[in-house]
Every structure is written in C-alpha cells, then in structure tokens.
Structure 1
C-alpha cells in the first residue's frame, strides 16, 4: 500500500493510491495518519478495504507530509561508510542516535526555509522507517516485524548550528521544514529488503548523492534492535536511518544551500520529493 495525505497545509485528508496510481479518499474510513492510526493493526484494517470503491480524487492538489504528527522523530548519524569517510570521522562502534523536533515535519514538495542566521544549510537523502507496534528489547531477527512502513526523508541540516554551536545535534536539525517526508508511506510488505535500495539526491539538476542502503554501517534490523534496548519505540515513531556521501559539508570546497536551490530526493520504490530552498522572512 502507498498511503498519503493531500490538500492544503493544515487541511490534509488521508488517501491511498489504487492499482492505477490514482488517489482514493480514505477520510471516510480513517481520521488521519499518525500514532496508532499507522500501527500494523490499523494498516491491516486499511488493507482489507475495497480500494476501488473509495471516492476517486481527480485533482488531489498539494501532497502533504504523509504523517500528521509523530510521537518521536529519531535519526541515525554517520551510518554510511563513505559518508563517515567524507566527514573525516571513524565509523561509529554502535548507532549514533539523535532527534529532530517534530515541528520540522514538512511536505515532500513544500519549500525548505533557510532559517535566520543560517550560513551552512545542507541536504541528506535518507531511508525513513515508521514503527508499527510497541518495540522494547526486540531482537535483530524480529526487528523488521515491527516496521509498518518505509518512506523517503530529506534530513535537512544547518551545519554551523549542528557542529559549531554548543549542545546537541538537534539544534542544527530542527528548523521548520527541515523534515520533508513522503510523498508516501509504503507499507513494509512492499519492500522486500530495505538494505538494497538506491538513495539519491539531485541539486539543481546535478546528482550529488547516489548510493545504496547496502552501504549502511548498521542495517535497519540493527538500528531498531539497538534503539529498543534503551527506549520503547511506539507506533508512528519515525527513524531517519542516515545519509550517504555527497552532502555539502563533505565537498571540497564545501557547498551549502542558498535561496533558489532545488533539491530532488528519492529512495528506490518509495517516491521522489522536490523542494526549493527559500530564505526565512
């Protein structure tokens, strides 16, 4: 299943793609997508519907973030071998976990707003994982059974805020619009192996990131199992699993976002995003 939300910002409705790629309105069946509404049980209920009988949305207009809100927006740092190398940092011995503010959530085609005082805005294509049931002390063997869906994420970052200012990375990760997600939530049963997906990002038409999730230092299984040793993951939690090489910070000379830059982001099978960078008012 490919689930999405469509409509003006703040007025989105839940929808689903039918077999022909058309949007069908789920608002008569589902209030919205978030928390328990994207649990494995909730997705099974949607899966049992006759999608062809749902109202056809001929002009869905804006495609919003496929999640109305998230309990937690987790991220994994330095999780691709070549990215760690370009960052001049050793491969971590265990997953580096940090968070983005949930207010960073944004639609896949909405502008990315470069915040005030920003000088080092950057891009990061990532495979996103949505948790489908309470997850605590899960084994690696069972970890993927706790995934509801996968998605494309752009983990937009401000490197000066992240690295050169005091405190944790969350400061450089959490500005409004710094978390474009979507366009879809693709149910886990449609992703045979999350470790074989191409991940890519084009900047102004030039490919700057082009890798595969096989380059991950820690697999999705390992990430979920590891995190569950320290916290209980909940339905609707989202995890951005790390970015490959090709970020602006790693370029020589370094390159950072400026107003008018266009990012196009894709994870194989999970949909393509497009954002234009704009200056904060």
Structure 2
C-alpha cells in the first residue's frame, strides 16, 4: 500500500493512494497529525488496516512532500562509480562518503513544478531513492540498518550547478534553492530487502532516458549509509536519507543540458513509483 500527504478542498490530509484517488485517513487519527507522527508511532500498519474496504475520499489532489518537516534531510553525493569518474580528477574511489544537508523548503511534491531561479539557470536533475527512518538510533550496526527503515520514496535532487561551485568545500548553497527539487509521490512501506537491493533507478527528461543504474552498484550501500551517518548524529523517525544518483546528470553532457521551462523530469523505480515534475521559471 502507498501513503501520501496531499491537499484537497483547501485542506491538507494524509491517506492511502489508490488508482482512483485518495482515501483520507488523517481525520480518523487526530493523535497523529502528520505522516511523520504516524512513522514515529510505527503506525503505517494501522493505516493500512484502516484503509481496507474504504471508498475514495478525494479524486482531485495536490501532492505534497510525503513527510512534512522532517527533522533531517541528509544526502549522499557521488555514490556510483561512474559518477566518481565523471569528475575526471584521477581520484580513486573515496574512503568515506560525501554528505550534505538539504532543507525541506527546497523540495516540492509530485506533479508540482521545479522552480528555476532568475539568479542562475543551471538547474539540473538527479534521480535518487530516498529512505525514511522509522526507528531512531545512534551508532546503528550495518547488519541492523534495514530494521530502522520505515518506508521508501523517490527524489529528484534538483541542483543549481553554478552555485555548488561557490565555495571550496561545500555544496549547500547550490542544493537548497526553494522548490528546486522534489520528493514523492508517496511512501511505500519497507518490508523486503529486495525493494532496495535489486532496485533499478531510471531518470527521464522529456521521455529520454538520462540516468539508469541499479542500487547494488552503489559505492556506499544504504546499509552503510545508515551506519555511518548514525555514528555522528542520532537518526530519528521521519528523517530522510537521499541515497545517491547515477551518472547522466545534465551537467555532464558537452555542452551541458540543463533544465528549461517546459521540460518534464521523471524518476522511476519499479515497486516504489514514478515521480514526475515539470519546470517553470520563478514568477
């Protein structure tokens, strides 16, 4: 089953996703105001049971980020061998993973436009799998890491490329423009390691495949990401880890192929879903 945060009729809800529309569940669980609260209470199975046999509540909805106001969004950079080679700096595979934070305000939901700012037009795409932490912890052992995942979703980790080069040692300012990326469309409860271990991620721009790879080729697998990150910071329910993008981002073409208004970007992983966003200039 899939669960989403969405707006309809001027209100915000969370509920179960069906092919015909949404089954609103949040009115029945006032003790859990958001999906973040549901995850903290390990309540996704309760929602699944509550949705059984129910009729669709809303057919016309606006998707929002599935987990509103996550405490932490931590992204893993340069996590595929071909991505490391793209830099053409002769470096060996790194000993430690590259990490950077993103703010929730830098993301929009499925079906909403990515916003290209007037200050710079090097808006780029990065298709990734995102994991949502369900059980918090510190110094989580690699072999126990999957026990701490509540759900999976998708991310287009949109980036203003010129701005990641403004500083010598960080990329934060190029990664956090308002509404430059997207997360969604929904959460898929994590129940089987094969959901990640055998996953193939595909990113398309206007129907053209730009990125395609399998998660088993990551230099730092998701188990290791959770273990490493939880060494220095306590992971909490609702935190989001964005796990790395394959080769093929627009910046790596010659000449670069950055996103322009009217483009449509799709990130897809079988078993999780398809995240689709258009591109617009900031009003």
State the TM-score, normalized to the length of structure 2: 0.91
Q: Secondary structure at the match of 2:131?
A: strand
Partner Cα distance (2:229, 2:216) in 1 = 20
Q: Which residue of 1 aligns with 2:25?
A: 26
Q: For residues 165 and 121 of structure 1, do their structure 2 counterparts lie closer, same or farther at Cα, with a shift above 3 Å needed? A: farther
Q: CA deviation at 1:102?
A: 1.8
1:142 to 137, 141, 144: 144
Q: Which residue of 2 aligns with 1:80?
A: 80
Q: CA deviation at 1:165?
A: 4.4
Q: Secondary structure at the match of 2:147?
A: helix
1:132 to 124, 131, 134: 134
Q: Which residue of 1 aligns with 2:4?
A: 4
Cα pair 2:36 2:70 within 8 Å, conserved:
yes
Q: Secondary structure at the match of 2:42?
A: helix
Q: CA deviation at 1:191?
A: 5.5
What is the alpha-carbon root mean square deviation over aligned residues?
Answer: 2.1
Q: Which residue of 2 aligns with 1:101?
A: 103
Q: For residues 55 and 174 of structure 1, do their structure 2 counterparts lie closer, same or farther at Cα, with a shift above 3 Å needed? A: same
Q: Secondary structure at the match of 2:231?
A: coil
Q: For residues 11 and 50 of structure 1, do their structure 2 counterparts lie closer, same or farther at Cα, with a shift above 3 Å needed? A: closer
Q: Secondary structure at the match of 1:274?
A: strand
Q: Secondary structure at the match of 1:171?
A: helix
Partner Cα distance (1:171, 1:255) in 2 = 21
Cα pair 2:21 2:60 within 8 Å, conserved:
no
Q: Secondary structure at the match of 2:184?
A: coil
Q: CA deviation at 1:17?
A: 3.0
Q: For residues 191 and 272 of structure 1, do their structure 2 counterparts lie closer, same or farther at Cα, with a shift above 3 Å needed? A: farther
Matches within 5 A, 1:165-184: 165=167, 168-184=170-186
Q: CA deviation at 1:244?
A: 0.2
Q: CA deviation at 1:25?
A: 1.2
Q: Secondary structure at the match of 1:184?
A: strand
Q: Which residue of 2 aligns with 1:244?
A: 246
Moved more, 232-241 or 194-203: 194-203
Q: CA deviation at 1:62?
A: 2.1
Q: CA deviation at 1:83?
A: 1.3
Cα pair 2:20 2:56 within 8 Å, conserved:
no
Q: CA deviation at 1:46?
A: 2.4
**Unaligned regions of 5+ residues in structure 2, if any?**
none
